[in-house]
Chains A and B, each alone.
Chain A
Amino acid sequence: MNHALWTSVARAFRRMALPLASYYAVTLALPLANGAAQSGDAFIKHALVVLIVPPVAIVLACAFHSIAYAFGSACSSTLAHQRARKTASRDVSNPAQC
């Protein structure tokens, strides 16, 4: 589960690299190029939040997806197991006739 989660997180980061880079370029690189760093603490606080939130959102989305996938798999395997048991009991009570 843990390994699967980290694999999907790594895959998501590879997939989101371009949107993430575009977002950082406009929210961090451009203001820095325009001298926003001179505004001091306000920009540093803003930059920290902008840097941290998107990766955290990606990790949370992956965790949510993994949990939903695991839950869905567990549900479908339980349903399949129940269906198989039902079929088996029907086969015993009504043996096929030739």
Chain B
Amino acid sequence: MKMKLLVLAMAALIAWGLKRHYADARADDLGWILSPTARLVGVMTRTTFALQPGEGYFSRDRLFLIEKSCAGVNFMIAAFGMLMLALVHRVGSGVSAARVLGASLVASYSAAVLVNAVRIAMAMWLAAHPVALSTFSAADVHRLEGITVYFGGLVLLYELAQRFDRSTVLLVGQKP
């Protein structure tokens, strides 16, 4: 029990550190997440994004800027917290605690890059093909798209984590 609480406290500290880093960072400091996201969006939309110092990643042919607020760090924090709460029951020793923390960090980072790239690619498509709905402005559509993709991404990640959790328990025969 003590170990589980300690791990949850460490997870909270990591999440807080990420949030602080995100609040203080400029676009250039977020290259660790913006760069792979921009590359993945480039592959999805067949365009190239170039680094604009101080601004983010810019596509000249699509006139689209991936800036600091598009980094997906908040999604990563949500995914990390969710995975930690979902997998904390596997913590029993120092090694398993490190494994759960590491796996949650890697999974939340990968999910953030992937889900955010999908969201940005969809936003680029919506910007090029504006939806003709009189009740919703372009900003409303962008917001709805963001909420749906981010929440859907969290649900998918949770389902994947649950399946992985169940299959490893079945394989090993008991919780580690």
Chain A interfacial positions (CB closer than 8 Å to B): 16, 18-23, 25-27, 30, 46, 49-50, 53-54, 57
Contact = CB atoms under 8 A, between A and B. Distances in A.
Interface in B143-167: 143-144, 147-148, 150-152, 154-155, 157-158
Given A19-B158, A54-B151, A57-B152, A25 B81 contact: yes
A49 B147 contact: yes
A21 B143 CA distance: 19
A61 to B, nearest CB: 9
B144 A22 contact: no
B85 A18 contact: yes
B78 A22 contact: yes
Closest 4 CB pairs of A and B: A22-B82, A26-B78, A19-B154, A22-B78
Given A20-B151, A26-B81, A57-B151, 7 more contacts: A19-B82, A19-B157, A23-B78, A30-B74, A53-B144, A53-B151, A54-B147
A78 to B, nearest CB: 32
B90 interface: no
B interface residue count range (under 10 / 10 to 19 / 20 to 34 / 35 or more): 20 to 34
From B81, B85, B151, residue with most partner A Cβ within 10 Å: B151
Interface in B27-44: none
Nearest to A21: B82
A21 B86 CA distance: 12
A23 B154 contact: yes
B108 to A, nearest CB: 10
A22 B112 CA distance: 14
A12 B147 CA distance: 18
Contacts of A22: 78-79, 81-82, 85, 154
Contacts of B4: none
A39 to B, nearest CB: 15
Contacts of B85: 18, 22
Contacts of B150: 23
A13 to B, nearest CB: 12
Contacts of A19: 82, 151, 154-155, 157-158
